[in-house]
Amino acid sequence: MFACRRPNMNVQWQLLVIFFILMILFGRTHAQQSAPVARPRIAIALSGGGARGLAHIGVLQWMEENRIPVDYVAGTSMGALVGSMYATGMSPAEMRRWVEDVNWDQALLAEPSYDELAFRRKQDRLNYQVAIPLGLKHGLEGPNGFNPGQGVGLLLSRIAFPYSTVSSFDELPIPFRCVATDMLRGDAVVLKDGSLAESLRASMSLPGVFTPVDLNGKTLADGGLLNNIPTDVARQMGGEVVIAVDVGTPLAGHEGLQSLGGVLDQTISVMTIENDRRSLRQADVVVAPDLGQYTRNDYYDADKLVKLGYEGAAQKAPVLQAFALSEEEWKQYLAIRDARKRAPENRADVLQIAGASGREQQQLEQRLDKYLHTTLDTRRLERDLTQITGEGRFDSLGYEGFVQGSTSGLRINAHEKSYGPPFIDVAVNASGTGVGAFDFATGFRVLFMDVWHHGGEWRNDLLLGSSDLVATEFYQPLGQSRFFVSPYTFFLNRSRNAFVNDRRVALYRDQRLGGGFDVGFNSGRRNEIRLGYRIFEGDLAALVGSEGLPRIHGSSSQIRLGYVFDELDNPAVPARGERLTAELVHVPESPGVSRNFNQLQVQSWTFVPLSAKSSLFFNASGGTTFNRNASLFEIFSLGGPFRLGAYTRDEFLGNHYALVGLGFRREFYRMPVVGSKVYWGGWYEAGTAFNDPTTFVVHSSFNAGIIADTLFGPIALSGAVSPTGRTKINFSIGRLF
């Protein structure tokens, strides 16, 4: 019989050990396959550069398309603006649409656009077009920056509003930092908490252009002064790989310094170049898109700049793609980022006013109370804040949310003008066709606000030159209504031409001293109607010309009903809108006439945009003394720039007149610093002034020239020719019509 053999226990133990080793190895391999691969944390540093900073959007678009994550964002100036949009969860496509929809001309204005101003501020801008704000609050001084940033500030409020209540910028979908400069200590300041909108505004406040921002006890300006490419900040945030995007303007050669804009760009580049070189040395990857000749002001080339930024990133593909995630990892990254997004509050039940006190705080609370306890419409709120700013008291008004206990609130950040009231508006007005037909006057308007009661204004005008004006007006709304009373006095001294046929034979002095009292209704922004009584003592005497010309002296009284509608977008060279004035006057007495008479005069201008740079314009005006004769103080006249330009001012006089014009104007150049735009244009005019309706003659004028809309008011130079061969070279400074 065979005996049973016992298994070899050593072999069994060996097999068991091998089995456990294989299980451990298999488990490790499986764990390695299922767990995400560790990756370096990536931070991106976005430089300043004005409009050139829009190229950052293209860089971010390329990175997203290639699944390259961004864990931290640091930015300066325009890099802070673009970086904040990305950090708050906007996709590059959304950012692109956002910047293309912005009206950059309006956003970058030093004050709300003309059509957003209160009606009385429109009158100030129309009559005093030197865009140099001054005030007398602490002696004669101006603001500490050309642009208080109202338009830009509202854009920043819109971006930041959903994240108003975060305690730290680390709570954004992507942790964020921006850099500003402490103007008192000369230090770079990294902003990481508090008001996101105010932090962005501080980072973008280029000295001399935008007013500095008082924030956290510091006076802050553009971070590009000390740290234009914040790679060190990106590293400090935790970036193990730092990608720097440099959109600064490279140093130009000699040919690039032949214009004022080129010199200014070069100056900024020279000021920051050493800091930029230091910052770039701290980056692991540098993306520097070739933006060619695009400048810091080319905001309307956003689409092209974004494309160039995209191409710049693509050129770094061999380096950047090393950080790309797999499809699955990218989905996980986006899910985590999107989970941190916040929707904006759509309701507020508490209102706070920061930066204003006393009567101004109460007025803002009363006017903005309508936004409480209802669905919050931020676009409508922005329009209202812009229009309140357009009343002249505030530099800027922004908004943000807050939480009080469990209640959502709306906070308005008000920045009152530091230099007024009283405010001073300046005018330099000149027009003519040469030395022989030349008018010049310069002066100012002093405006006191909230005189007697809220809304009360005291205007004082002084213009001296070939025409003199001294005037004062008190304007007082009646209670909280839009009805008002307005007493005023004035002294006017001007010259008038006298013609026989087409030959100038004399120059008259026209002097008037008088006053009046009006009652009226002011709609707020667009129109005003007045009814009042005016009386003046007039003197009309020859200064130069034929001896023996009659002198007219005496009192004139008038009962006047006037209406003004103004919806133009610019007081100097409009692109769109209408302006209409109408006045009906009853004259019981006036020197040189024995009977009372009535007059009606209507004037209108209409501008119709054809494109972003071109507009058609049409003007029509007319007046009549009905079946009576007007005195020489009230007679209508034609001639001169924009009133039959081929003829001299006052060449045609009459009890009745009519004038029509049709023209075209197009922008062809944008000027740096000294103004905004230069236009060329052409227009045709036809008109007549007459006494006898059966014998009038129509005169016409073909005109062409250039108009510059400058800080010192519009400057126009044009040539005019009539069908009969009359020619004139006309110029005007300070006001066109």
The pLDDT tens digits for 410-427 are 999 999 998 999 999 999
Q: Reply yes or no on whether the pLDDT at 35 is more than 80.
A: no
Among the residue ranges 206-215, 400-409, 507-516, the one predicted with the least confidence is 206-215
SS3 142: coil
Q: What is the rounded CA–CA span in Å between residue 655 and residue 634?
A: 9
Is the per-residue pLDDT at 126 higher than 70? yes
- 3 or 77, greater pLDDT: 77
- What integer pLDDT is reported at residue 73 of this predicted model? 97
Percent of the chain at pLDDT above 70?
A: 90
Interatomic CA distance for residues 247 and 227, integer angstroms: 14
pLDDT of residue 694: 83
Q: How far apart are CA 321 and CA 529, in angstroms?
A: 67
- Measured CA to CA, the distance from residue 471 to residue 488 in angstroms comes to 7
pLDDT band at 619 (very low <50, low <70, confident <90, very high): very high
Encoding tokens for residue 40? 């370096």
Tokens of 151: 């338009």
Are residues 363 and 307 in contact, defined by beta-carbon separation less than 8 angstroms?
no
Output the CA torsion sign for 422, 428, 431, 435: positive
Residue 720 has pLDDT above 70, yes or no: yes
pLDDT for position 582: 98
Yes or no: say if 726 and 647 are a contact pair by the CB < 8 Å rule: yes
Q: How many CA atoms lie within 13 A of 719 on its CB side?
A: 3
Measured CA to CA, the distance from residue 482 to residue 522 in angstroms comes to: 5
What is the structure's pLDDT at 497? 83
What is the pLDDT, as a whole number, of residue 26? 40
What 8-state DSSP symbol labels residue 328? H
Note the pLDDT tens digit of each residue in 52-76: 999 999 999 999 999 999 999 999 9
- pLDDT greater than 60 at residue 394: yes
Going by pLDDT thresholds of 50, 70 and 90, the confidence category of residue 150 is confident
pLDDT over threshold 50, residue 259: yes
For position 452, what pLDDT does the model report? Answer: 85
Please state the rounded mean pLDDT for residues 79-101.
Answer: 94
Residue 241 has pLDDT above 50, yes or no: yes
* pLDDT given for residue 546 in this prediction: 62
**Beta strands at 699-710 and 713-721: parallel, antiparallel or unpaired:** antiparallel
Amino acid occupying residue 97: R
- Mean pLDDT taken over the chain: 88
Beta bridge partners of 468: 493
Residue 6 has pLDDT above 60, yes or no: no
User: Pairing relation of β-strands 457-465 and 468-477?
Assistant: antiparallel
Average pLDDT over residues 544-569: 87
Residue 483 vs residues 82, 470, 480, 523, 564: alpha-carbon distances, Å: 46, 26, 9, 9, 15
What is the arithmetic mean of pLDDT over 87-113?
A: 89
Q: How far apart are the first and last CA of the chain?
A: 133
List of residues 6+ apart from 297 with CB closer than 8 A: 50, 51, 261, 670, 672
Q: What pLDDT was estimated at residue 124? A: 95
- Residue 22 pLDDT exceeds 50: no
pLDDT value of residue 376: 92
CA distance readout (Å), 247 to 52, 176, 284? 6, 19, 17
pLDDT digits (tens, 9 = 90+) for 325-379: 999 999 999 999 999 999 888 899 999 999 888 888 999 999 999 999 999 999 9
Average the pLDDT over each of 488-492, 716-720, 732-736 and give the range with the smallest value: 732-736
Indicate the burial class of 138 (C-beta count within 10 angstroms; 0-12, 13-18, 19 or more): exposed
| Candidate from 190-199, 215-224, 666-675 with smallest mean pLDDT | 666-675
- pLDDT, position 260: 58
Burial of 713 (0-12, 13-18, 19+ CB in 10 A): buried
Angle of helix 78-87 versus helix 92-101 axis, rounded to 10: 130
Higher pLDDT, 215 or 438: 215
Q: Quick one: CA dihedral 648, 651, 652, 654, positive or negative?
A: positive
Largest CA distance in the chain: 167
Residues of 204-226 as b/e, b for ≥16 C-beta within 10 angstroms?
Answer: bbbeebbbbbebeebbbbbbbbb
pLDDT digits (tens, 9 = 90+) for 445-500: 999 999 988 889 999 999 999 899 999 999 999 988 999 999 999 999 998 888 87
How much is the average pLDDT of 589-602?
94
Judged by average pLDDT, the poorest of 154-158, 313-317, 495-499, 542-546 is: 542-546
